[in-house]
Structure 1
Amino acid sequence: MTPLSEVVAKKTQWMKSESSGLYVNIVFSDMDDTLLSCDKSISEKNLEILDRLAKQGIPFVPASGRALSLLPHEVLAHPASRYAITADGATVTDLRTEEALYTSHIKKEDALALFELMKDLPVTFDVFTGGRAYTDNARREKMKLFRLPGHHKEFMLRSRTPYEGSPKDFIASIDDIERLGSYWSEDADAYVRPLVEAAFAEVGAFDVTSSMGVGAEILAHGTSKGTALTWLCDYLGISSDTAAAFGDADNDTEMLQSAGIGVAMGNGNESVLRAARFVTYTNEESGEGRFLEWALS
């Protein structure tokens, strides 16, 4: 296998070129550690490129593991944003009409079966439904003691809507499940991960991905940001060859492979760096804005 350093060096050659020769018709972007800085803010450079996309009539599509209500207001309200891919590709929403155009959701019976296998593990069991993310109070309190990467714990505690009672009763009370999420402490990973993976295998109804080192984002079979990107491009009559996509983690890999212009962030993990056509600067260096500034020149 080619050393990663050589792969990255080849995919950053664009930084030495004045013009791109690329044709960009639509832009898909992960949020955390991609468009957003590590503190969850959007840099001036990235905001400027969103303005430029709006002026040129190029749709910008946030493509996130987040629930719809948890996307940054600056992104949702921006005139460049017309559609959104949320819950790792489980839902595609028209932001103007708030209509779900495409869904690939989890069956209630599969969610209940998985919870029964995981209920005694030291993990969270988040339920994404109706554009929000929910977690029971007991597991939310335990999450406060978890060791999680970077700013993720603070955001997760702030973004989950808490409720009293068991996830079993909560799941039974709702009609639609976009995705599930389960997270655990980094220092328990060696013990917890094999047990969680065994539970997934026993139910056998899920695709599982991740946006950080620990935890699992649990989806119905066949669900991914890449599948959603392809669906939306077909729906809009836009060739995916002219789609630019940006990401940094495992849950972005299929999206970068599905886009003609797949771009990994400089802070991306190895799988994303190898899957992408290009590698840009890190999220802290406004890598997305700087690449698009070049690509649109």
Structure 2
Amino acid sequence: MDRCVSPGGAPGSEKLEMLKEQCKEISEMYEDLLRGNTKLRREIQSLTDLKDNAKSEMLELEEVCRLKVNEAHALDKDLKMLQKEECSLSQHLEGLTGTLLHLFHYKEHMIQWQSEISQEASSLLHATKATSNEKMLQQTTKEPQGEDKKTKKLKDVLCGDNCNFKISDFQEKGRGVVTLKLFKKEDLILQYKGNLLKYREGKETEETYFSDESIGCYMLFFKHKGATWCLDATVDDGSLGRLLNHSLKGNCTPKLFIHEGESCVIFVAV
């Protein structure tokens, strides 16, 4: 048999093979397209899901923004209320400050009044004690009877007759009293004036004076009827008796007298 030849000059079997190859390629391309289409659908679905998620998130963000805006409005209202309260508290604080200043000044006045009252009470207490102590001394001392030279001299001393004395400065002891005339034994010289205290009160007062050198101490302790007494002449009243200085060889000694119902201590020449 003669071989059949195709119009292109190729045998029929070769053409068939080519068609098969083309069909196979087309089939593979179709499968690739199907796979690509499936992948594309998946990507489209994924994008759709992302879009839905984004939309949901956007809605949530819008809700959050709305809530934040409401919170901001509420905070703004609270801030305005706090500012009003701050203004009110500031005014109240100013009022309290004024009240505290007034109370502080009142406290200072009260302290001053209390100090003045304490000083007056202390003075009254000393005066009361002195009066009481004088009464106790008067009960143990007899007043001389009748008018005589000694009584007249006692009156002169009590009246402050200081014409026979002068004040001098001594190098070690400071101020002292010097006589301008001679005195005989038992002559009355000067009165020692001061607050009359019991022995214990005098010692306590003396310790107080010793603790402050600026005050000084002018105190006379003496015995009478077995009891020890004290005359505190620290406060300068201008009398000369308080300036009599101690001496190992004293030329006068204190004695207690009662004149017109009042006790007094007079230094007598020895």
TM-score (norm 2): 0.21
Bigger Rg over Cα: 2
Higher helix proportion, which one? 2
Superposition TM-score, scaled by structure 1 size: 0.20
